[in-house]
Amino acid sequence: MQTYENKEQLVQAIQSTYDKFIKEFHDISNDEKDKEILEVDRTPSQMLSYQLGWTSLLLSWEKDEMNGLKVQTPTPKYKWNNLGELYKDFYQQYENFSLDEQINILNQQVDDIIKWINTLTDKELFNPEQRDWATTKAKWPIYKWIHINTIAPFKTFRTKIRKWKKLNNY
């Protein structure tokens, strides 16, 4: 996993990977947003829904803890060993949204994550056990949670959407 020396590097990595990822969706027609292809495990809409779900959860964990609430990750309804069902919930939550609507919401969530990062001290961002929601057996610092819910899937899904587009002659 990538490490970052400061929050500016983290923000730059989020912005650059997100820009590359989201640009891939601009030429996909809304009529094909739910088109399944055997060689790619998600539709374009599902790829965006996945990102919308995780970025929303990440922001909600922080908001809830800051409001004094006990946070159960990933959600009170789902445990870490049942992520497939969580993903189905993400897909259902956004299935009636157009690609443009999904992109607009995701743009806002990415902006919110960057604003949040800029409010954190280096200690909060880079040291483990700074939030109850981020305290796991692995003792990850917040930046790693941010990385695995933004940068890493932006890269992975960019590859998937490019393959989807190639197989659809885009």
The model's pLDDT over 116-145, given as tens digits with 9 standing for 90+, comes to 999 999 999 999 999 999 987 778 999 999
For residue 122, what is the domain's CATH number?
1.20.120.450
Q: Is 113 inside a domain boundary?
A: yes
The share of the chain scoring above pLDDT 70, in percent, equals 99
pLDDT at 1 over 80: no
> Is 92 a residue whose pLDDT tops 80?
yes
Confidence at 3, pLDDT banded by 50, 70, 90: confident
The pLDDT assigned to 162 comes to 98
Residues 149-170 have pLDDT tens digits of 999 999 999 999 999 999 999 9
Number of domains in the chain: 1
Q: How far apart are CA 22 and CA 145, in angstroms?
A: 21
- What pLDDT score does 135 carry? 80
In a domain, 55, yes or no: yes
Average pLDDT over residues 43-47: 98
Q: Which residue segment(s) compose the domain that 120 sits in?
A: 41-167
The answer to whether residue 163 is domain-embedded is: yes
115-118: list long-range contacts, CB under 8 Å, 24+ apart.
116/59, 116/62, 117/7, 117/10, 117/11, 117/14, 117/146, 118/7, 118/11
pTM of the model: 0.95
Has residue 5 been placed in a domain? Answer: no
- pLDDT of res. 139: 85
